[in-house]
Protein backbone atom coordinates (compact mmCIF):
# COMPACT_ATOMS: atom_id res chain seq x y z
CA UNK A 1 0.00 0.00 0.00
CA UNK A 2 1.19 3.29 -0.89
CA UNK A 3 0.53 5.99 1.69
CA UNK A 4 0.62 8.76 -0.86
CA UNK A 5 -2.31 7.27 -2.70
CA UNK A 6 -4.33 7.19 0.48
CA UNK A 7 -3.42 10.75 1.34
CA UNK A 8 -3.81 11.93 -2.24
CA UNK A 9 -7.53 11.32 -2.18
CA UNK A 10 -8.03 13.24 1.01
CA UNK A 11 -8.88 16.90 0.73
CA UNK A 12 -6.29 19.24 2.05
CA UNK A 13 -7.26 21.06 5.15
CA UNK A 14 -6.87 24.72 5.31
CA UNK A 15 -5.35 24.67 8.69
CA UNK A 16 -4.55 22.63 11.60
CA UNK A 17 -7.54 21.20 13.38
CA UNK A 18 -9.22 18.15 14.63
CA UNK A 19 -10.71 15.73 12.25
CA UNK A 20 -13.99 14.62 13.69
CA UNK A 21 -14.63 11.93 11.15
CA UNK A 22 -13.70 8.79 13.08
CA UNK A 23 -13.68 6.49 10.07
CA UNK A 24 -11.16 8.62 8.21
CA UNK A 25 -9.08 9.12 11.34
CA UNK A 26 -9.03 5.37 12.05
CA UNK A 27 -8.09 4.56 8.47
CA UNK A 28 -5.28 7.11 8.57
CA UNK A 29 -4.06 5.85 11.98
CA UNK A 30 -4.28 2.24 10.84
CA UNK A 31 -2.37 2.93 7.65
CA UNK A 32 0.35 4.80 9.56
CA UNK A 33 0.64 2.04 12.15
CA UNK A 34 0.65 -0.72 9.51
CA UNK A 35 3.30 1.03 7.44
CA UNK A 36 5.50 1.49 10.54
CA UNK A 37 4.94 -2.13 11.64
CA UNK A 38 5.60 -3.46 8.15
CA UNK A 39 8.69 -1.34 7.61
CA UNK A 40 10.16 -1.96 11.06
CA UNK A 41 8.71 -5.33 12.02
CA UNK A 42 8.58 -6.87 8.55
CA UNK A 43 12.29 -7.52 8.42
CA UNK A 44 12.24 -8.97 11.92
CA UNK A 45 9.20 -11.07 11.04
CA UNK A 46 10.83 -12.22 7.80
CA UNK A 47 14.05 -13.11 9.63
CA UNK A 48 12.03 -14.97 12.29
CA UNK A 49 10.13 -16.85 9.60
CA UNK A 50 13.37 -17.58 7.72
CA UNK A 51 15.01 -18.83 10.94
CA UNK A 52 11.97 -20.96 11.65
CA UNK A 53 12.06 -22.29 8.08
CA UNK A 54 15.79 -23.16 8.42
CA UNK A 55 15.15 -24.80 11.79
CA UNK A 56 12.34 -26.89 10.33
CA UNK A 57 14.48 -27.84 7.30
CA UNK A 58 17.39 -28.76 9.57
CA UNK A 59 15.06 -30.83 11.74
CA UNK A 60 13.70 -32.57 8.63
CA UNK A 61 17.25 -33.29 7.38
CA UNK A 62 18.26 -34.64 10.78
CA UNK A 63 15.09 -36.73 10.91
CA UNK A 64 15.86 -38.10 7.42
CA UNK A 65 19.43 -38.81 8.48
CA UNK A 66 18.26 -40.57 11.65
CA UNK A 67 15.71 -42.52 9.61
CA UNK A 68 18.46 -43.58 7.19
CA UNK A 69 20.68 -44.60 10.14
CA UNK A 70 17.79 -46.47 11.71
CA UNK A 71 17.10 -48.22 8.39
CA UNK A 72 20.79 -49.17 8.14
CA UNK A 73 20.73 -50.50 11.70
CA UNK A 74 17.55 -52.41 10.89
CA UNK A 75 19.20 -53.90 7.80
CA UNK A 76 22.24 -54.88 9.86
CA UNK A 77 20.03 -56.38 12.55
CA UNK A 78 18.09 -58.37 9.94
CA UNK A 79 21.37 -59.58 8.44
CA UNK A 80 22.62 -60.61 11.89
CA UNK A 81 19.28 -62.32 12.56
CA UNK A 82 19.56 -64.30 9.32
CA UNK A 83 23.14 -65.27 10.19
CA UNK A 84 22.08 -66.29 13.69
CA UNK A 85 19.22 -68.36 12.28
CA UNK A 86 21.59 -70.07 9.83
CA UNK A 87 24.07 -70.75 12.63
CA UNK A 88 21.30 -72.07 14.88
CA UNK A 89 20.15 -74.37 12.07
CA UNK A 90 23.71 -75.63 11.58
CA UNK A 91 24.11 -76.19 15.32
CA UNK A 92 20.78 -78.04 15.39
CA UNK A 93 21.88 -80.26 12.49
CA UNK A 94 25.24 -80.91 14.13
CA UNK A 95 23.43 -81.77 17.36
CA UNK A 96 21.23 -84.27 15.54
CA UNK A 97 24.26 -85.84 13.84
CA UNK A 98 26.18 -85.96 17.10
CA UNK A 99 23.19 -87.51 18.88
CA UNK A 100 22.89 -90.15 16.14
CA UNK A 101 26.61 -90.93 16.39
CA UNK A 102 26.39 -91.16 20.17
CA UNK A 103 23.32 -93.38 19.88
CA UNK A 104 24.97 -95.77 17.40
CA UNK A 105 28.18 -95.78 19.46
CA UNK A 106 26.23 -96.58 22.65
CA UNK A 107 24.34 -99.36 20.86
CA UNK A 108 27.57 -100.79 19.45
CA UNK A 109 29.25 -100.56 22.87
CA UNK A 110 26.25 -102.24 24.54
CA UNK A 111 26.38 -105.04 21.97
CA UNK A 112 30.13 -105.44 22.54
CA UNK A 113 29.57 -105.49 26.31
CA UNK A 114 26.81 -108.08 25.89
CA UNK A 115 29.16 -110.27 23.80
CA UNK A 116 31.93 -109.92 26.35
CA UNK A 117 29.53 -110.74 29.17
CA UNK A 118 28.33 -113.80 27.27
CA UNK A 119 31.95 -114.93 26.76
CA UNK A 120 32.74 -114.34 30.43
CA UNK A 121 29.57 -116.22 31.36
CA UNK A 122 30.55 -119.19 29.17
CA UNK A 123 34.08 -119.18 30.58
CA UNK A 124 32.72 -118.95 34.11
CA UNK A 125 30.34 -121.83 33.43
CA UNK A 126 33.18 -123.94 32.01
CA UNK A 127 35.40 -123.08 34.95
CA UNK A 128 32.65 -123.93 37.42
CA UNK A 129 31.96 -127.18 35.56
CA UNK A 130 35.63 -128.08 35.70
CA UNK A 131 35.77 -127.16 39.35
CA UNK A 132 32.68 -129.23 40.11
CA UNK A 133 34.03 -132.16 38.06
CA UNK A 134 37.33 -131.88 39.88
CA UNK A 135 35.59 -131.78 43.26
CA UNK A 136 33.36 -134.69 42.34
CA UNK A 137 36.37 -136.62 41.02
CA UNK A 138 38.29 -135.96 44.22
CA UNK A 139 35.28 -136.97 46.23
CA UNK A 140 34.80 -140.16 44.23
CA UNK A 141 38.51 -141.00 44.51
CA UNK A 142 38.45 -140.18 48.18
CA UNK A 143 35.38 -142.31 48.73
CA UNK A 144 36.83 -145.13 46.62
CA UNK A 145 40.08 -145.01 48.55
CA UNK A 146 38.28 -144.98 51.84
CA UNK A 147 36.18 -147.97 50.72
CA UNK A 148 39.32 -149.77 49.55
CA UNK A 149 41.05 -149.04 52.87
CA UNK A 150 38.02 -150.18 54.71
CA UNK A 151 37.89 -153.42 52.72
CA UNK A 152 41.60 -153.83 53.02
CA UNK A 153 41.60 -153.32 56.74
CA UNK A 154 38.56 -155.46 57.24
CA UNK A 155 39.60 -158.34 55.00
CA UNK A 156 43.34 -158.04 55.29
CA UNK A 157 44.43 -161.46 56.24
CA UNK A 158 47.37 -163.52 55.06
CA UNK A 159 45.41 -165.40 52.42
CA UNK A 160 44.04 -162.23 50.82
CA UNK A 161 47.42 -160.61 50.97
CA UNK A 162 49.01 -163.59 49.30
CA UNK A 163 46.33 -163.66 46.54
CA UNK A 164 46.83 -159.95 45.79
CA UNK A 165 50.58 -160.40 45.56
CA UNK A 166 50.18 -163.37 43.25
CA UNK A 167 47.77 -161.44 41.08
CA UNK A 168 50.22 -158.54 40.75
CA UNK A 169 53.04 -160.92 39.88
CA UNK A 170 50.94 -162.45 37.15
CA UNK A 171 50.10 -159.03 35.78
CA UNK A 172 53.79 -158.06 35.73
CA UNK A 173 54.84 -161.21 33.96
CA UNK A 174 52.11 -160.78 31.38
CA UNK A 175 53.16 -157.20 30.88
CA UNK A 176 56.83 -158.09 30.36
CA UNK A 177 56.03 -160.84 27.91
CA UNK A 178 54.09 -158.60 25.68
| Secondary structure (DSSP) of the chain | --HHHHHHTSPPPSS------HHHHHHHHHHHHHHHIIIIIHHHHHHHHHHHHHHHHHHHHHHHHHHHHHHHHHHHHHHHHHHHHHHHHHHHHHHHHHHHHHHHHHHHHHHHHHHHHHHHHHHHHHHHHHHHHHHHHHHHHHHHHHHHHHHHHHS--HHHHHHHHHHHHHHHHHHHH-
Q: What is the pLDDT of residue 25?
A: 78
Percent of the chain with pLDDT over 70: 86
CA angle, 79 then 84 then 89, to 5°: 130
The answer, yes or no, to whether residue 19 has pLDDT greater than 90, is no
Would residue 174 count as lying in a domain? no
Would residue 57 count as lying in a domain? yes
Would residue 17 count as lying in a domain? yes
Would residue 158 count as lying in a domain? no
The answer, yes or no, to whether residue 88 has pLDDT greater than 80, is yes
Would residue 161 count as lying in a domain? no
Would residue 15 count as lying in a domain? yes
The answer, yes or no, to whether residue 159 has pLDDT greater than 80, is no
Supply the range of the domain harboring residue 35. Answer: 3-151
Q: How sure is the predictor about 44, in pLDDT bands with cuts at 50, 70 and 90?
A: confident
Would residue 119 count as lying in a domain? yes
Q: How sure is the predictor about 36, in pLDDT bands with cuts at 50, 70 and 90?
A: confident
Q: What is the pLDDT of residue 45?
A: 75
Total domains in the chain come to 1
Q: How sure is the predictor about 162, in pLDDT bands with cuts at 50, 70 and 90?
A: confident
The whole-number average pLDDT for the span 148-160 is 74
Model pTM? 0.40
Amino acid sequence: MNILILFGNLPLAEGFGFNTNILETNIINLSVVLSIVISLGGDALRSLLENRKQTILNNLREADQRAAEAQEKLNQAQFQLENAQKRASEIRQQGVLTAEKEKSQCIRQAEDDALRLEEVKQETIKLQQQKVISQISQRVVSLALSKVREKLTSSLDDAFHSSVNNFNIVLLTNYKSQ
